[in-house]
Amino acid sequence: MTVNSGDRDSCRILVVDDVEANRSVVCRRLERLNYTVVSAESGEVALQLIEKSPPDLVLLDYMMPNMNGIDVLRELRTNSRVSEVPVIMLTARADAQTVVASLEAGADDYVSKPIDFDVLAARIEAQLQRRQQAANLKLANAKLDERVTRRAIELSELEEQLELESEQRRVLQSEVERLIADRKAVLTGGINPDLLEPPLQRIAQIADSLADPGRADMPVNPAAIAEIAALARQALGAVR
């Protein structure tokens, strides 16, 4: 993916250099590539501009008075609002120590002075591409998070609905059981068979005992008692 000329005019690049001639040369070259360019003559001014309106990329001079490029980088990377703005360090010192210090402070890349503007243009484009890819990924993740959250809400609502339906089924089952019990009570004369069965059994037992021919001394007609026992058994059979 490349940054075409139609898109470059929407990309703002901040050029930071305490030497006015250097700033002018870099700004003109970038403007020819259709970039929108702003400049700052010091690290302090650069931080103010970045805070006010974050650019898409910063070209930062390494050697500046008062606040050098490393100091600016450290301030920039500790500001969460603008910490992800890509920075390319411009330095006349190409030694390994300078390069390592720049990268450790948070520089995304570096270009040695005197500047090869073809190299600078390629590295600017690479950083802008990387920034755009990161933005696209962040947007995709946000959309994914939104879908996951929405799905979680839908599942929660479905669980609540299933629980409600389950409770409704339990209530319905309880009502059906009650209706069956009521119908059974009606069919048995409104008496619960579980309550009726034990005394009927006891009546039958007593009647059998009284009808025993061996108890002739009792002033009871065995035939009548036998009839009572038969009736009790008949009633007991009716509720079973």
Residues 71-98: tens digit of each pLDDT: 999 999 999 999 999 999 999 887 889 9
Q: How big is the chain, counted in residues?
A: 240
Q: Give the model's pLDDT for residue 164.
A: 78
User: When comparing pLDDT for 88 and 154, which is higher?
Assistant: 88
Residues 162-212: tens digit of each pLDDT: 887 777 777 767 766 776 776 666 565 655 566 556 656 666 666 666 556
- What integer is the mean pLDDT of 139-155? 82
Looking at the predicted structure, is the pLDDT value of residue 17 above 80? yes
Distance of alpha carbon 187 from alpha carbon 217, whole angstroms: 42
Pairing of strands 36-40, 87-91: unpaired
Among 31-40, 71-80, 127-136, the minimum mean pLDDT is found in: 127-136
Q: Give the model's pLDDT for residue 233.
A: 66
pTM: 0.57
Q: Give the mean pLDDT of the chain.
A: 81
pLDDT band at 121 (very low <50, low <70, confident <90, very high): very high
DSSP letters of 133-194? Answer: HHHHHHHHHHHHHHHHHHHHHHHHHHHHHHHHHHHHHHHHHHHHHHHHHHHHHHHTTT--HH
pLDDT band at 2 (very low <50, low <70, confident <90, very high): low
Q: Give the model's pLDDT for residue 223.
A: 63
pLDDT band at 1 (very low <50, low <70, confident <90, very high): very low
